[in-house]
Amino acid sequence: MKHIFQQGTSSDAPVLVLFHGTGGTERDLLPLAGIISPQSSVLSVRGNVLENGMPRFFRRLSEGVFDEEDLVLRTAELNDFLNEAAQTHGFNRGNLVAVGYSNGANIAGSLLFHHKDALRGAILHHPMVPRRGIDLPALDGVPVFIGAGRNDPLCPPEETEELERLLTEAGAQVTVHWEVSGHQLSASEIDAASAWYQRTFA
């Protein structure tokens, strides 16, 4: 998968794995990594799917309706890539914290839903529920931050609350930060995610 790897100054700090939103690239969230954990190594990945020329991490059938078969396939593909990248770049595969926005948050959430120990933790900005009606792997103690908007037209509050419940029932330690805004990623939400990260991992 097309990606950028930047070596950090601390080998003990979690490696931040960045997943952009629809139409983004592997460069979009690099500034966030610098705010959240300046000392961390960073692996920023570009989605392998194109929708009208816009990179995504998996196909969708329509707005808000995922192609579940493709989602499962792409999630496994991504998990395999993370295994390979750890070997290639020499980082600890068990020390990854995902940072995703929108479609990128959905693929990070899907890693949690489908692959045990895929991530040490996750920051999900405006995610949806990746899949329903499946048993999640044990997520005992895995810290997850969810940034959500009370007026988000793509991820209504009940979607966020359902995702929080599913992750919590699987054992994850979930923190939800609410903004009054919509689907955009605000400075105050980034600040809240950074503060949460420092409390959790620093």
pLDDT (tens digit per residue) in 52-82: 999 999 999 988 889 999 999 999 999 999 9
102 catalytic residue (yes or no): yes
Token pair for 151: 């007026």
Nearest Cα to Cα of residue 184 among 102, 128, 106: 102
- Considering 3, 89, 177, 183, which one is annotated as catalytic? 183
200 and 13 in contact (C-beta within 8 Å)?
no
Active-site residue (options: 37, 40, 102, 110)? 102
Convert the pLDDT of each residue in 2-58 to its tens digit: 999 999 999 999 999 999 999 999 999 999 999 999 999 999 999 999 999 999 999
Asked if residue 157 lies in contact with residue 134, where contact means CB atoms within 8 angstroms, the answer is no
DSSP letter (8 states) at residue 48? S
Nearest to 183 by CA among 156, 201, 144, 145: 156
Q: Determine the 3-state secondary structure of 196 from DSSP.
A: helix
pTM here is 0.97
Known catalytic residue: 183?
yes
CA distance 154 to 52: 19
126 carries an active-site annotation: no
Please provide residue 133's backbone torsions phi and psi, each rounded to the nearest 5 degrees: 80, 20
Largest Cα–Cα separation, the chain: 42
